[in-house]
């Protein structure tokens, strides 16, 4: 699950010319640590939705990897 | 290209469908009914035309009905033509909430929700995508009885310009065609005299031809319009 999320994160980063991150953890912040802006977060959410069938930003702001994992329904 | 088109059953939408199909594109057509003319197009282009009956007064099932079921998440979408609309016309002092809300649902809210999903779809597939709204000259000129209807189109024009600004960096273009009066069901309640008065307010002194509007839509959808975004394109017989 975390690995899959990391792959998605790296796809989004790759699409904007950023290097892949070697690891993500609960505390990893999407904007500050992963360098995502609001449009990247939109891309992230549709990619997550296409894999996990969950729209993680549907009911509110999500800031960290832990919060995404919680929404996907399986915390590491 | 794969194009989502609302209001495919009649009038301008039918013309746009015909134009796109004959150019070899795939059309995902949406309207409440499937007219005889659309059935004829279906027979002529069995593999290129996919149809879903959907009532745009319902904005809540758009993702499921149009994006999951009609198009499917595996198929990239290259364009969306927001053509379906209804006209609630009356003078403002007669304004009633219910028909006003219904019109906003069909002309504004459902199209916004479709655009939401079109952009999300494009993000997933990482393909450029062109959104074309069909607006109306009534936004810019003003006609007695059309204040409420024109306001829905004004909303689309503003939404379109802001879509272009917000998503341009991701390859999403958005434009509005400002159509003049066309001879379709929508304008069929006008008397010959009323129509004549409208046409007199145009440089060409005639109705706007749906074929000409369809041509502009096809252009805006295509790569030929790669640098055109955030614009209102007037196809209106030169309304003055
Ligand atoms: N005619 C004009 O003079 C004129 C001028 C300027 C701009 N426009 C604009 O041009 C566009 C096309 O208009 P038109 O003249 O071709 O109108 P039309 O002949 O009345 O066709 C309207 C289309 O929209 C569909 N539609 C209407 N309500 C719907 C709903 N609730 N859910 C789903 N589909 C719906 C209709 O299909 P179903 O009935 O099968 O659902 C039909 O295909 C519209 O955006 C209109 O505002 C028209």
Domain ranges of chain B: 2-235
CA distance A43 to chain B (A): 6
pTM of structure? 0.97
Higher pLDDT, B68 or A74: B68
Burial B185-220 (b: 16+ CB within 10 A, else e): ebeeebeeeeeeebbebbeeeebbbbebbbebbbbb
Pocket test for ligand 1, best of B17, B27, B30, B31 (most atoms within 8 A of CB): B31
pLDDT of B58 reads: 98
pLDDT of B144 reads: 92
- Please report which confidence band the pLDDT of residue B190 belongs to, taking 50, 70 and 90 as the band edges: confident
Mean pLDDT score of chain B:
97
CA distance B13 to chain A (A): 30
**Domains identified in chain A and CATH numbers:** 2-75 (1.10.1200.10)
pLDDT of A61 reads: 84
The percent of residues above 90 in pLDDT, for chain B, comes to: 97
Nearest by Cα to B52 from B37, B71, B36: B71
Mean pLDDT score of chain A:
92
Q: What does the pLDDT look like over A26-63, one tens digit per residue?
A: 999 999 999 999 999 999 999 999 999 999 988 888 99
The percent of residues above 70 in pLDDT, for chain B, comes to: 100
**What is the fold, at CATH topology level, of the domain defined by B2-235?**
Rossmann fold (3.40.50)
Task: Name the closest residue on chain B to residue A45, using Cα atoms.
Answer: B120
């Amino acid at each position: 699950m975390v690995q899959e999320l990391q792959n998605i994160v790296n796809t989004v980063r790759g699409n904007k010319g950023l290097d892949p991150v070697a690891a993500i953890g609960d505390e990893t912040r999407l904007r500050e640590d992963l360098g995502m802006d609001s449009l990247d977060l939109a891309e992230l959410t549709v990619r997550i939705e296409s894999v996990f069938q969950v729209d993680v930003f549907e009911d509110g702001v999500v800031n960290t990897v832990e919060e995404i994992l919680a929404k996907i329904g399986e915390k590491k | 290209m794969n194009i989502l088109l609302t209001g495919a059953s009649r009038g301008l939408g039918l013309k746009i469908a015909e134009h796109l199909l004959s150019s070899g594109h795939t059309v995902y057509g949406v309207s409440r009914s499937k007219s005889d003319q659309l059935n004829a197009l279906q027979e002529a282009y069995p593999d290129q035309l996919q149809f879903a009956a959907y009532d745009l007064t319902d904005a809540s099932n758009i993702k499921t009905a149009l994006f999951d079921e009609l198009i499917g998440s595996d198929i990239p979408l290259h364009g969306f033509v927001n053509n379906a609309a209804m006209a609630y016309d009356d003078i403002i002092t007669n304004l009633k909430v219910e028909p006003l809300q219904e019109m906003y649902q069909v002309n504004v809210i459902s199209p916004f929700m479709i655009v939401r999903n079109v952009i999300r779809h494009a993000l997933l597939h990482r393909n450029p995508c062109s959104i074309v709204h069909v607006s109306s000259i009534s936004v810019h000129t003003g006609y007695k009885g059309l204040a409420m209807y024109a306001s829905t189109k004004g909303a689309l024009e503003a939404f379109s310009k802001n879509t272009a600004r917000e998503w341009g960096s991701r390859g999403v273009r958005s434009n509005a065609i400002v159509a003049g009066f066309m001879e379709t069901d929508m304008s069929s309640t006008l008397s010959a005299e009323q129509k004549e008065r409208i046409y007199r307010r145009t440089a060409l002194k005639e109705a706007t031809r749906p074929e000409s509007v369809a041509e502009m839509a096809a252009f805006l959808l295509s790569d030929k319009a790669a640098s055109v975004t955030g614009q209102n394109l007037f196809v209106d017989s030169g309304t003055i």
